Amino acid sequence: MPLSRRLTDGLNGKIDQILAKMNYHTKFGTWGLLDYSLTGPATFLAADDAFFIPMKAEVYSANSTTETPLPHAALGFKSTGRMLDIYMDQFAINSGMFQYFKSNLFGLVVNNSNLPKGFPFPLHTDVWGLLLPTLKATYPDMDMEIMLTMANAPSVNMAAGAATFDASFFVDVLVLPPGKAPQSAFTIEAVVNATVAIDCFQSAKGPAIGLQIGSATGIHMSLVKSTIGDLDLTLINGAIAVLFNLVVIPKANAALAPGFPLPSINGLSFASPIINLQNNIMQLGTDINYKPVKH
Protein backbone atom coordinates (compact mmCIF):
# COMPACT_ATOMS: atom_id res chain seq x y z
CA MET A 1 0.00 0.00 0.00
CA PRO A 2 1.49 3.42 -0.94
CA LEU A 3 2.52 5.67 1.93
CA SER A 4 -0.02 8.36 0.85
CA ARG A 5 -2.82 5.78 1.03
CA ARG A 6 -1.68 4.60 4.46
CA LEU A 7 -1.57 8.19 5.65
CA THR A 8 -5.03 8.87 4.23
CA ASP A 9 -6.48 5.74 5.81
CA GLY A 10 -4.94 6.71 9.12
CA LEU A 11 -6.36 10.20 8.99
CA ASN A 12 -9.76 8.91 7.97
CA GLY A 13 -10.29 7.64 11.49
CA LYS A 14 -8.77 10.62 13.25
CA ILE A 15 -9.78 13.62 11.17
CA ASP A 16 -12.44 14.70 13.67
CA GLN A 17 -9.87 14.66 16.47
CA ILE A 18 -7.49 16.78 14.41
CA LEU A 19 -10.19 19.27 13.48
CA ALA A 20 -11.16 19.61 17.12
CA LYS A 21 -7.74 21.14 17.83
CA MET A 22 -8.12 23.88 15.25
CA ASN A 23 -8.82 27.48 16.17
CA TYR A 24 -11.98 28.47 14.33
CA HIS A 25 -12.34 31.99 15.67
CA THR A 26 -9.61 34.55 15.18
CA LYS A 27 -9.50 38.21 16.14
CA PHE A 28 -9.47 40.42 13.09
CA GLY A 29 -7.62 43.57 14.13
CA THR A 30 -9.13 45.18 17.21
CA TRP A 31 -12.64 45.42 15.81
CA GLY A 32 -13.58 42.12 14.19
CA LEU A 33 -13.86 38.38 14.62
CA LEU A 34 -13.09 35.93 11.83
CA ASP A 35 -15.30 32.82 11.88
CA TYR A 36 -13.97 29.61 10.30
CA SER A 37 -16.42 27.24 11.96
CA LEU A 38 -17.30 24.00 10.17
CA THR A 39 -20.44 24.02 8.03
CA GLY A 40 -20.58 20.25 7.70
CA PRO A 41 -18.65 17.05 8.44
CA ALA A 42 -15.29 16.29 6.87
CA THR A 43 -15.66 13.79 4.03
CA PHE A 44 -13.17 11.64 2.17
CA LEU A 45 -13.17 12.02 -1.62
CA ALA A 46 -11.92 8.69 -2.88
CA ALA A 47 -11.57 9.85 -6.50
CA ASP A 48 -9.21 12.63 -5.44
CA ASP A 49 -7.60 10.74 -2.55
CA ALA A 50 -8.28 13.78 -0.39
CA PHE A 51 -10.38 15.10 2.45
CA PHE A 52 -12.95 17.82 1.88
CA ILE A 53 -13.53 20.07 4.91
CA PRO A 54 -16.32 22.67 4.45
CA MET A 55 -15.76 25.78 6.53
CA LYS A 56 -17.37 29.15 6.96
CA ALA A 57 -15.16 32.15 6.26
CA GLU A 58 -16.77 35.39 7.38
CA VAL A 59 -15.75 38.44 9.38
CA TYR A 60 -18.10 39.81 12.01
CA SER A 61 -17.91 43.00 14.00
CA ALA A 62 -16.69 42.31 17.53
CA ASN A 63 -19.84 44.06 18.77
CA SER A 64 -22.40 42.49 16.42
CA THR A 65 -23.33 39.23 14.72
CA THR A 66 -24.93 40.96 11.73
CA GLU A 67 -24.45 38.90 8.58
CA THR A 68 -22.78 40.47 5.56
CA PRO A 69 -25.44 40.95 2.82
CA LEU A 70 -23.24 39.85 -0.08
CA PRO A 71 -23.55 36.84 -2.41
CA HIS A 72 -21.37 33.73 -2.28
CA ALA A 73 -19.65 32.21 -5.28
CA ALA A 74 -19.91 28.50 -6.06
CA LEU A 75 -16.66 26.74 -5.23
CA GLY A 76 -15.25 24.07 -7.50
CA PHE A 77 -12.40 21.68 -6.84
CA LYS A 78 -9.30 21.17 -8.95
CA SER A 79 -6.16 20.09 -7.18
CA THR A 80 -2.96 22.10 -7.49
CA GLY A 81 -0.97 18.96 -6.73
CA ARG A 82 0.08 20.32 -3.34
CA MET A 83 -0.54 18.79 0.07
CA LEU A 84 -3.25 21.31 0.91
CA ASP A 85 -5.72 23.24 -1.25
CA ILE A 86 -7.82 26.06 0.17
CA TYR A 87 -10.67 27.52 -1.85
CA MET A 88 -12.07 30.84 -0.71
CA ASP A 89 -14.55 33.10 -2.49
CA GLN A 90 -14.17 36.86 -2.39
CA PHE A 91 -17.06 37.03 0.08
CA ALA A 92 -14.65 36.19 2.91
CA ILE A 93 -12.46 39.25 2.30
CA ASN A 94 -15.38 41.49 1.42
CA SER A 95 -17.20 40.59 4.62
CA GLY A 96 -14.26 42.17 6.43
CA MET A 97 -14.49 45.24 4.21
CA PHE A 98 -18.23 45.50 4.87
CA GLN A 99 -17.95 45.12 8.64
CA TYR A 100 -15.09 47.65 8.76
CA PHE A 101 -17.29 50.13 6.88
CA LYS A 102 -20.32 49.46 9.10
CA SER A 103 -18.18 49.98 12.21
CA ASN A 104 -17.46 53.52 10.93
CA LEU A 105 -13.76 53.15 11.68
CA PHE A 106 -12.30 54.92 8.66
CA GLY A 107 -11.76 58.64 8.95
CA LEU A 108 -8.80 60.55 7.59
CA VAL A 109 -7.96 64.23 7.99
CA VAL A 110 -5.21 65.57 5.74
CA ASN A 111 -3.63 68.98 6.29
CA ASN A 112 -0.28 70.66 5.80
CA SER A 113 1.03 69.29 9.10
CA ASN A 114 0.70 65.64 8.10
CA LEU A 115 1.30 65.65 4.35
CA PRO A 116 3.82 62.93 3.47
CA LYS A 117 7.24 63.77 2.12
CA GLY A 118 7.13 64.13 -1.62
CA PHE A 119 3.62 65.55 -1.72
CA PRO A 120 3.96 68.00 -4.63
CA PHE A 121 1.86 70.97 -3.44
CA PRO A 122 0.58 72.51 -0.20
CA LEU A 123 -3.07 72.61 0.80
CA HIS A 124 -3.66 76.33 0.27
CA THR A 125 -6.36 78.21 -1.57
CA ASP A 126 -3.85 80.26 -3.57
CA VAL A 127 -2.35 77.04 -4.96
CA TRP A 128 -5.61 75.14 -5.56
CA GLY A 129 -7.06 78.40 -6.83
CA LEU A 130 -4.87 78.03 -9.91
CA LEU A 131 -7.17 75.14 -10.84
CA LEU A 132 -10.36 76.43 -9.21
CA PRO A 133 -10.39 80.25 -9.47
CA THR A 134 -13.64 80.57 -7.47
CA LEU A 135 -11.97 78.85 -4.51
CA LYS A 136 -9.29 81.54 -4.31
CA ALA A 137 -11.79 84.33 -5.01
CA THR A 138 -14.10 83.18 -2.21
CA TYR A 139 -11.44 82.18 0.31
CA PRO A 140 -8.20 84.05 -0.53
CA ASP A 141 -4.89 83.17 1.16
CA MET A 142 -6.13 80.40 3.47
CA ASP A 143 -4.81 77.02 4.45
CA MET A 144 -6.96 74.02 3.60
CA GLU A 145 -7.85 70.69 5.14
CA ILE A 146 -9.32 67.57 3.54
CA MET A 147 -11.56 65.13 5.38
CA LEU A 148 -12.16 61.69 3.89
CA THR A 149 -14.84 59.20 4.89
CA MET A 150 -16.15 56.07 3.19
CA ALA A 151 -19.33 56.50 1.17
CA ASN A 152 -19.86 52.73 0.72
CA ALA A 153 -18.18 49.49 1.72
CA PRO A 154 -15.08 48.84 -0.40
CA SER A 155 -14.70 45.55 -2.22
CA VAL A 156 -12.11 43.24 -3.73
CA ASN A 157 -13.17 41.67 -7.03
CA MET A 158 -11.37 38.57 -8.28
CA ALA A 159 -11.12 37.53 -11.91
CA ALA A 160 -8.94 35.08 -13.80
CA GLY A 161 -5.35 36.00 -12.96
CA ALA A 162 -6.07 39.39 -11.39
CA ALA A 163 -7.93 41.25 -8.65
CA THR A 164 -9.14 44.82 -8.32
CA PHE A 165 -10.12 47.09 -5.45
CA ASP A 166 -13.10 49.43 -5.66
CA ALA A 167 -14.07 52.01 -3.06
CA SER A 168 -16.16 55.16 -2.79
CA PHE A 169 -15.15 58.07 -0.60
CA PHE A 170 -16.58 61.43 0.40
CA VAL A 171 -13.85 64.05 0.05
CA ASP A 172 -14.72 67.21 1.96
CA VAL A 173 -12.42 70.13 1.15
CA LEU A 174 -12.39 72.73 3.92
CA VAL A 175 -10.77 76.12 4.30
CA LEU A 176 -9.27 77.31 7.58
CA PRO A 177 -10.04 81.00 8.15
CA PRO A 178 -7.68 82.47 10.79
CA GLY A 179 -9.34 82.48 14.20
CA LYS A 180 -12.52 80.82 12.90
CA ALA A 181 -13.94 77.34 12.57
CA PRO A 182 -13.17 75.37 9.40
CA GLN A 183 -15.64 75.94 6.56
CA SER A 184 -16.56 73.47 3.84
CA ALA A 185 -15.72 74.78 0.37
CA PHE A 186 -16.96 71.74 -1.53
CA THR A 187 -17.53 68.00 -1.17
CA ILE A 188 -17.08 65.40 -3.87
CA GLU A 189 -17.70 61.68 -4.03
CA ALA A 190 -14.71 59.86 -5.51
CA VAL A 191 -15.02 56.28 -6.77
CA VAL A 192 -11.54 54.77 -6.83
CA ASN A 193 -10.42 51.71 -8.79
CA ALA A 194 -7.04 50.07 -8.24
CA THR A 195 -5.26 46.76 -8.71
CA VAL A 196 -4.67 44.43 -5.77
CA ALA A 197 -1.70 42.11 -5.23
CA ILE A 198 -2.66 38.95 -3.31
CA ASP A 199 -0.13 36.60 -1.73
CA CYS A 200 0.28 34.23 1.18
CA PHE A 201 2.77 34.73 4.01
CA GLN A 202 3.56 33.38 7.45
CA SER A 203 2.51 35.96 10.02
CA ALA A 204 3.32 35.88 13.71
CA LYS A 205 -0.07 34.21 14.29
CA GLY A 206 0.13 31.72 11.43
CA PRO A 207 -0.52 31.58 7.69
CA ALA A 208 -2.29 34.64 6.28
CA ILE A 209 -3.47 36.08 2.99
CA GLY A 210 -1.74 39.35 2.14
CA LEU A 211 -3.50 42.17 0.30
CA GLN A 212 -1.76 45.25 -1.02
CA ILE A 213 -3.51 47.91 -3.09
CA GLY A 214 -1.67 49.36 -6.06
CA SER A 215 -1.86 52.87 -7.49
CA ALA A 216 -5.29 54.07 -8.54
CA THR A 217 -6.09 53.12 -12.12
CA GLY A 218 -9.20 55.27 -12.27
CA ILE A 219 -10.97 57.94 -10.20
CA HIS A 220 -14.49 59.03 -11.06
CA MET A 221 -15.75 62.12 -9.26
CA SER A 222 -19.11 63.78 -8.77
CA LEU A 223 -19.96 66.99 -6.93
CA VAL A 224 -22.01 66.52 -3.76
CA LYS A 225 -22.16 70.15 -2.59
CA SER A 226 -20.31 73.43 -3.04
CA THR A 227 -20.20 76.90 -1.49
CA ILE A 228 -18.09 78.27 -4.35
CA GLY A 229 -20.42 77.60 -7.28
CA ASP A 230 -20.30 74.96 -10.00
CA LEU A 231 -16.94 73.23 -10.47
CA ASP A 232 -15.22 71.55 -13.37
CA LEU A 233 -13.91 68.52 -11.49
CA THR A 234 -11.74 67.41 -14.38
CA LEU A 235 -9.41 70.27 -13.42
CA ILE A 236 -8.59 68.68 -10.05
CA ASN A 237 -8.60 65.03 -11.12
CA GLY A 238 -4.80 64.94 -11.03
CA ALA A 239 -4.65 66.54 -7.58
CA ILE A 240 -7.18 64.07 -6.16
CA ALA A 241 -5.27 61.16 -7.73
CA VAL A 242 -2.10 62.33 -5.99
CA LEU A 243 -4.00 62.55 -2.71
CA PHE A 244 -5.18 58.94 -3.00
CA ASN A 245 -1.90 57.50 -4.27
CA LEU A 246 0.34 59.23 -1.72
CA VAL A 247 -1.94 59.41 1.33
CA VAL A 248 -5.08 57.27 1.27
CA ILE A 249 -3.80 54.05 -0.36
CA PRO A 250 -0.63 53.86 1.80
CA LYS A 251 -2.83 54.27 4.89
CA ALA A 252 -5.10 51.47 3.64
CA ASN A 253 -2.11 49.21 2.96
CA ALA A 254 -0.77 49.82 6.46
CA ALA A 255 -4.14 48.68 7.84
CA LEU A 256 -4.05 45.58 5.60
CA ALA A 257 -0.44 44.68 6.48
CA PRO A 258 -1.28 42.08 9.21
CA GLY A 259 -3.08 40.03 6.56
CA PHE A 260 -6.21 37.93 6.49
CA PRO A 261 -5.50 35.01 8.86
CA LEU A 262 -6.19 31.48 7.66
CA PRO A 263 -7.39 28.56 9.79
CA SER A 264 -4.45 26.62 11.16
CA ILE A 265 -3.15 24.29 13.82
CA ASN A 266 -0.40 25.42 16.17
CA GLY A 267 2.96 24.43 14.73
CA LEU A 268 1.74 24.20 11.14
CA SER A 269 3.32 26.41 8.47
CA PHE A 270 2.95 26.65 4.72
CA ALA A 271 5.78 25.83 2.30
CA SER A 272 6.00 27.41 -1.16
CA PRO A 273 2.34 28.45 -1.43
CA ILE A 274 0.87 29.42 -4.78
CA ILE A 275 -2.30 31.42 -5.46
CA ASN A 276 -4.58 31.09 -8.47
CA LEU A 277 -7.34 33.63 -9.01
CA GLN A 278 -10.55 32.76 -10.82
CA ASN A 279 -13.86 34.58 -11.19
CA ASN A 280 -14.85 35.52 -7.63
CA ILE A 281 -12.62 32.77 -6.20
CA MET A 282 -9.10 32.38 -4.84
CA GLN A 283 -7.37 29.00 -4.77
CA LEU A 284 -4.38 28.54 -2.48
CA GLY A 285 -2.20 25.47 -2.94
CA THR A 286 0.63 24.73 -0.57
CA ASP A 287 2.82 22.06 0.95
CA ILE A 288 2.91 22.10 4.72
CA ASN A 289 5.45 21.77 7.50
CA TYR A 290 4.55 20.74 11.02
CA LYS A 291 6.63 21.28 14.13
CA PRO A 292 4.96 20.24 17.39
CA VAL A 293 4.54 23.11 19.83
CA LYS A 294 6.12 22.47 23.23
CA HIS A 295 3.86 23.33 26.15
Q: Are 100 and 106 in contact (CB under 8 A)?
A: yes
pLDDT at 100 > cutoff 50 = yes
Residue 137: CA count within 13 A, CB half-sphere: 7
Share of residues in the chain with pLDDT > 70 (%):
89
- 262 phi-psi bin (left φ>0, alpha ψ -120 to 50, beta other): beta
Determine the pLDDT at residue 7.
44
**244 DSSP 8-state letter:** I
Q: How far apart are CA 178 and CA 210, in angstroms?
A: 44
Q: Is 6 or 9 the better-scoring residue by pLDDT?
A: 9
How confident is the model over 12-23, as pLDDT tens digits?
555 566 666 665
Average pLDDT over residues 25-33: 80
How confident is the model over 39-55, as pLDDT tens digits?
877 777 766 677 777 88
Q: How many CB atoms lie under 10 A from the CB of residue 193? A: 14
pLDDT at 4 > cutoff 90 = no
For the chain, domain boundaries: 1-105+265-289, 107-258
Q: How many residues are present in the chain?
A: 295
How confident is the model over 214-232, as pLDDT tens digits?
999 999 999 999 999 999 9
pLDDT at 1 > cutoff 50 = no
pLDDT at 5 > cutoff 90 = no
- Predicted confidence band of residue 172 (pLDDT cuts 50, 70, 90): very high
pLDDT at 9 > cutoff 60 = no
Q: Is 87 or 1 the better-scoring residue by pLDDT?
A: 87
Tell which CATH architecture fits domain 107-258: Super Roll (3.15)
Determine the pLDDT at residue 16.
61
Average pLDDT over residues 122-146: 97
- Predicted confidence band of residue 208 (pLDDT cuts 50, 70, 90): very high
- Predicted confidence band of residue 6 (pLDDT cuts 50, 70, 90): very low
**What does pLDDT average to over the chain?**
87
Query: What is this structure's pTM?
Result: 0.86
- Predicted confidence band of residue 261 (pLDDT cuts 50, 70, 90): confident
Q: How far apart are CA 286 and CA 80, in angstroms?
A: 8
Q: Is 17 or 247 the better-scoring residue by pLDDT?
A: 247
Share of residues in the chain with pLDDT > 90 (%):
58
Average pLDDT over residues 269-283: 92
Average pLDDT over residues 73-88: 84
Q: Which helix (H) or strand (E) holds 60?
A: strand 58-61
pLDDT at 2 > cutoff 50 = no
Average pLDDT over residues 85-114: 92
Pairing between β-strand 58-61 and β-strand 50-52 as defined by DSSP bridges: unpaired
